[in-house]
Amino acid sequence: MSDETANYDPTQQNEVIDDMFEKYFLEYASYVILERAVPAGEDGLKPVQRRLLHALKEMDDGRFNKVANVIGSTMQFHPHGDASIGDAIVNIGQKELLLDIQGNWGDIRTGDSAAAPRYIEVRLSKFALEVLFNEDTTEWQMSYDGRKREPVTLPAKFPLVLEMGVEGIAVGLSTKILPHNFIELCNASIKYLKKEPFVLYPDFLTGGQVDVSNYNDGARGGKVKMRAKIVEADKKTLKITEIPFSTTTGSIIESIIKANDTGKIKIKKVEDNTARDVEIIIHLAPNTSTDITIDALYAFTNCEMSVSPNAVVIIDQKPRFLGVSEILKSSTDQTLFLLKRELQIRKSELMEKLLYSSLEKIFIENRIYRDIEECETFDAVIDTIDQGLDPFKKDFYREIIKEDILRLTEIRIKRISKYDGFKADDLMKRLEEELLEVEDNLNNIVRYTVNFFHDLIKKYGKGRERRTEITQFGEVQAAIVAANNQKLYVDRASGFVGYGLKKDEFVMECSDIDDIIVFRADGKLSVVKIQEKVFVGKDIISCSVFRKNDERRIYNVIYLDGKTGRTFAKRFAVTGITRDKEYDITKGSPRSKILYFSANENGEAEIVTINLTASSTAKKKVFDFDFAELLIKNRSAMGNLVTKYSVRKIAFKTAGKSTLGGVDIWYTSTLGRINKDEHGMYLGNFGATDKILVIYKTGEYELTNFELTNHYDPRQVHTISKFDEKRAISCIYYDGDQKNYHIKRFLIETSTLDKKFMFITDHNRSELLMASFEKRPRIEIKFKKQRKSEVETQLFKVDEMIEVKGWKALGNKLVYDKIVEIKILNPEIDEEEGDEEDEISDIVNADIEENNEELEIETEEKSDRAEQELKLPDLPSDDENKSNNATQEGEQLGLF
C-alpha cells in the first residue's frame, strides 16, 4: 500500500468538496443576479437589453433593420444564444417606447407571438436616442471576447425600469417591478425636483382596473388587485372591454369556460371579437343576474388577478430592495447629474470654439501669417506666431499652448483670402450667447432639469395617458355569487348530509363551495364543508347552507333541560363558527333535547301553542308562547324559562313579523356598491318592499332592489336615493336636438325593476345638468345671454317655476343661451315644519328633548346634502379617457 493511500482522509476530502461547491454556487448565483435576472439601478436595463440597444445604436442610420440582423450584431456583445436576445427585443418592442417597430410583433392582449425575426424590422425611437445615448457620459468596458467595447450602463435620463416594468428570477432572489405611466413618472420627477410630495401607482397597457390600497410603494409586502373592465351590454349579455395585466384574452376565455363547466357560473357561450380593441362577449343563461355573474367572474375566473410587487435593482454591484419612489428619486438625481455633465462638456466645447475663433481672427486680421514668410525653420514659425499673440494672451481663459499654434499653421491661404471679419464676429456672438445660456442653465440646473421633463411630456407624452383606472374593489364573497351547481340532501335518521344522497330527502340547491349548518335533536349544532356524503350525527332536525356573518337569520328554539326537567326558549343568530366543531345550544346537560325549532331568514317571531302533559299539576295545561317577547341573544345563552312542567307537544300557531326592523343601507360612490357596513352615504332603512332609485348622468332613471350584489357604475351615477313614490324629482337638462335648456318636475310612474327609463330627450348630445330629490329645492343659475359676455346669476324656487308633470314630459323651456353653472342651495323649509320645530324646542320634557336632538341631526344631514355644488358641464361619457372629445362637444353646444 502506498503512502498516499495510507494517508487518505475521506473527511478532509469531503470538506474540500463542500468548500468548492459553496464557492462555485455563490459565483453562479452572483452571475445570475448581476448579469441576467435583475436590472441595474442606473439605467433600469438587464445586460441583454442594454447590449441589444447598444448594437442598435451602432447600426443606426435612420432606417429600419431586420430583427435577425440586430440579433446577430448583439451576439458580438452578449455571450448567449439568439433566443434570449430575440425574446428581449420583442418584449421591449411591444411596449413601443424605446423602439420603432414594423411588421407583426404579436399582441400582449391576445398572447399572439411575433413573426420570425427575419420578417420584422426595428430601429431606435427618437425618445431612446435622446435619453439613452451619449458617448461623452458613457462608461465603457471591453466585451466578453475583448474585441469590442460596450457600455457598463447606459446614461439613462429617464426611469425606464418604472415605465416598462421588469420581472426576473435569480438564485434565491426575484424581482417584479410593475409598469407605470410615462406622464406620471415625468410629473413625479418634476415634483421631486421641486421638493413636493408625489405618489406613483402602476399603469398597464392592457387597461382594466387596479386597486392600489396595499401597493406599499411597490416594495416587498405589497399587493395590488387587477380587474377586467366588464360592462353590461343588456340584461342577457356582458362585454369585457379591457383585461387585467398578466392575462390574455385567451386565458380569460379559458378560465370562463372552466368556471362554467364546474358550475361556478352559468353562461350560454363566449365569443372573442377582439380586433383593434378587446371585446369578449359573454351570453348569459336564462334567468341569470348580470350583477351576480359579474361578481362571479371576478371570484372564479382570471377577470380578477392579484400581484405582489418586489422592487429589486442592482446598485454598486449589489441587489437592493427599494420602493418605486426611491427608484424614481435615484433616477431623477442621475438625470440631473447627467444633464449637468452634458452642460459642462458643452461649455468646454463652446469655450474652445471661442478661443480658436479668437486666435484665428487675431492671426488673420493682424497679419501674423505674413511675419512667418521669412522664417527658415518650423520652430521659428512657431515662435513668430507665439510672439505675435503675446499682446492678446491675457484675454484668453487659458494659456495658449503649442497645439493651438499648430492649428493656426494649418489654415489655408484660400481661407485667409476669403476671411470675412463680420461673419466671424457674428459666429463668435452666437457662441457667446449660447455660452451664456449654458452657464445660466448650469447655475439653475434644477430648473433646467424640470424643463427637460416638461419637454419629454410635450414631445412624447401624446397617446401615453393613463390606461388603467385606479379604484377600490369590494371583497367578493365567493359563496354568495357562486351558481347553485349541486343539490343538498339529508338522511335525518342516519345522520348524513351531502349532494350524493340522491335517494334521500332533498333540502335545497347549493354550490360545491358552500358550508352546511346542521342542528340535531340533542341540541348540538355544527358547520361542515359540503361533500358528496358526510356524517354529522343522528337525528338531524335542520340543515341548510351556512352564511357567515348573517345577523338576520334568527333561530327560535325551545328545549328541555335534561338536568332540571324545565323548558327554556331562546332566540339567537349564528354568525361565526369553527368548521367541524360541535356546539351545544342547550345548557349541555345529559338527556337535553330540542322540543321546537325554526329558522327565520328575516328575524320573524312566531307564536306557538304549548301543551303540557295531563299528569302535570299546572292549572293551565295549554297556553300560547310568543317569541317576539324574547330578546335575541348569543347562541350559548341559557334562554328564558317557559315552564317548569313537563311538555307534551309544541305546535305552530301563527306566523309573526320580523323583530329586526328594516335594513340600514349605505352607498359607497368609489365602488358603486351598496353595503350594510356603514361605509359611504347613508341611503336609509329598507323594508322588504323598499327600492333604490338611481338617476344616471345619461338622463335615465332605474329602480332596483337593495341586494348587496347590485352594481352601479360610479362614473355614470348622478344621484342615488331610497325610492319614495310620492317624492317628485326636479331636473334641468340640455336638449341636444332643439339646442335649448329645459326644467321639469316629475314622479316615478313605472314599477319595473332593473330597467332604465329615459326622462330627457333621446339625442346623443342631450345631457342631464341637475337633479334633486328635495321637496322644495332652490337653485342658483349662472348664465350668459345672447351677445353678452358677462355672466348673470339668478335664484329660483323650482316648485314655483313648474308643476309636477309626467316623466315623459319635456318640461318648461329656459330662455338662456348658455348655462355656466348650477348650484343647489339649501331647500326652503315649510312654515308648518318651522312651527313644529319651534314648538319642540320650547318643551323641556327629557324624552321630547331627545327626539328634538334627533330632528336636529336629520336637518343638519339634509342641509349638508343640499350644499353640494354641480359644476357644468359634466358631459356624459362612456370612458373618462375621452374627456378631450367631450370638451369639444361641449364647446359646440355652447356650454363652455
Q: Cell 417584479: give the residue.
A: 176
Q: How far apart are CA 199 and CA 329, in angstroms?
A: 12
**Which sign, positive or negative, has the C-alpha torsion 345, 346, 351, 354?**
positive
> Strands (DSSP E) along 706-837, which ranges?
717-722, 729-735, 740-746, 756-758, 767-772, 778-784, 792-797, 804-805, 812-814, 818-825
Q: How far apart are CA 154 and CA 139, in angstroms?
A: 8
At residue 656, the 3 state secondary structure works out as coil
Angle among Cα 286, 879, 268 to the nearest 5 degrees reads: 15
CA-to-CA dists, residue 140 to 54, 135, 137, 859, angstroms: 11, 9, 10, 74
Q: Is 398 exposed, middle or buried (0-12, 13-18, 19+ CB in 10 A)?
A: exposed
Q: Do residues 734 and 666 touch, judged by C-beta distance below 8 A?
A: no
| Pick from 737, 742, 732: nearest CA to 763 | 737
Angle among Cα 429, 433, 434 to the nearest 5 degrees reads: 120
Which amino acid type is present at position 143? S
| Known active-site residue 701 | no
Q: How far apart are CA 511 and CA 486, in angstroms?
A: 5
Q: How far apart are CA 561 and CA 707, in angstroms?
A: 40
Q: How far apart are CA 683 and CA 666, in angstroms?
A: 5
Q: How far apart are CA 50 and CA 512, in angstroms?
A: 51
End-to-end Cα distance, the chain: 105
Catalytic annotation, pick one of 8, 28, 31, 119: 119
CB contact set of 248 (below 8 Å; sequence gap of 6+): 108, 109, 110, 111
Angle among Cα 850, 856, 858 to the nearest 5 degrees reads: 110
Q: How far apart are CA 852 and CA 855, in angstroms?
A: 5
Paired sense of beta strands 632-633 and 567-572, if any: parallel
Q: Is 316 exposed, middle or buried (0-12, 13-18, 19+ CB in 10 A)?
A: exposed
Q: Which residues pair with 797 in a beta bridge?
A: 778
C-alpha cell belonging to residue 728: 317628485
Q: How far apart are CA 306 and CA 479, in angstroms?
A: 20
| Pick from 115, 76, 60: nearest CA to 93 | 115
Alpha helices per DSSP H over 568-696: none
> Strands (DSSP E) along 125-284, which ranges?
139-142, 149-153, 166-169, 174-177, 209-214, 223-227, 229-234, 237-242, 267-272, 280-284
CB contact set of 462 (below 8 Å; sequence gap of 6+): none
C-alpha cell belonging to residue 418: 476669403
Angle among Cα 203, 208, 210 to the nearest 5 degrees reads: 60
Count of C-beta atoms within a 10 Å radius of residue 848 = 14
So which residues are the catalytic ones?
Answer: 119
